[in-house]
């Protein structure tokens, strides 16, 4: 009986510590995207790129591929991605997606407002961000 009481007291202590930590201004992250992916570089060292891009209404990317997965987080507006052989995907402000490696794609802003995105790319060193595709 004492052991159960100790466990109960420990659980209450942890919960009350969490409540007081949250009320004392400690920030807690919100999960936007969690996805199992394949195709990341396996070298001892990699290059990380964090970029931003703005698309005016009607703007598009070049027709391209990436050698490794690319994560896109939409800050404002909506971003539509057409991946070869797959249905188009639209990601809105506050949402994220992973672009798969070695798949031809074009991204669009098909909305009437500016779209702003943050792009996160982990690659083997000296790898270009994208490879152009011919039409």
CA distances in angstroms from 124 to 106, 110, 119, listed in the order given? 23, 32, 16
Q: Do 10 and 57 share a domain, yes or no?
A: no
pLDDT over 90 at 7, yes or no = no
CA-based nearest residue to 82, from 95, 56, 69, 64: 64
Q: Do 55 and 117 share a domain, yes or no?
A: yes
- Reported pTM: 0.78
List the structure tokens of 17: 């510590």
DSSP labels, 11-24: HHHHHHHHHHHHHT
List the structure tokens of 69: 């997965």
Write down the pLDDT at residue 6: 47
Alpha helices in the chain (DSSP H): 2-23
User: Reading across the β-sheet that carries 64-65, which strands appear in turn?
Assistant: 89-92, 78-83, 105-108, 64-65, 131-132
Burial (CB count within 10 angstroms: exposed 0-12, middle 13-18, buried 19+), residue 30: exposed
Q: Do 22 and 59 share a domain, yes or no?
A: no
Mean pLDDT check: name the lowest of 19-23, 61-65, 77-81, 127-131. Answer: 19-23
Tally of domains within the chain: 2
| CB neighbours of residue 108 within 10 Å | 19
| Domain-located, residue 91 | yes
List the structure tokens of 23: 């009320």
Residue 57, domain CATH:
2.60.120.10
pLDDT in tens, 63-83: 999 999 999 999 999 999 999
| Domain-located, residue 35 | no
| Domain-located, residue 79 | yes
Tell me the average pLDDT of the chain. 87
Residues spanned by the domain of 7? 1-30
Write down the pLDDT at residue 18: 53
| Domain-located, residue 39 | no
Q: Do 91 and 52 share a domain, yes or no?
A: yes
């Amino acid at each position: 009986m004492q052991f159960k009481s100790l466990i109960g007291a420990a659980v209450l202590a942890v919960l009350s510590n969490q409540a007081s930590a949250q009320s004392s201004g400690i920030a807690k992250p919100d999960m936007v995207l969690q996805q199992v992916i394949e195709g990341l570089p396996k070298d001892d060292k990699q290059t990380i790129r964090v970029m931003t891009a703005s698309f005016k209404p009607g703007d598009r990317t070049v027709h391209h591929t990436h050698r490794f997965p690319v994560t896109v987080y939409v800050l404002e507006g909506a971003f539509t991605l057409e991946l070869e052989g797959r249905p188009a995907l639209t990601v809105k402000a506050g949402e994220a997606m992973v672009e798969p490696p070695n798949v031809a794609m074009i991204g669009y802003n098909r909305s009437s407002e500016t779209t702003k995105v943050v792009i996160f790319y982990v690659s083997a060193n000296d790898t270009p961000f994208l490879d152009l595709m011919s039409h």
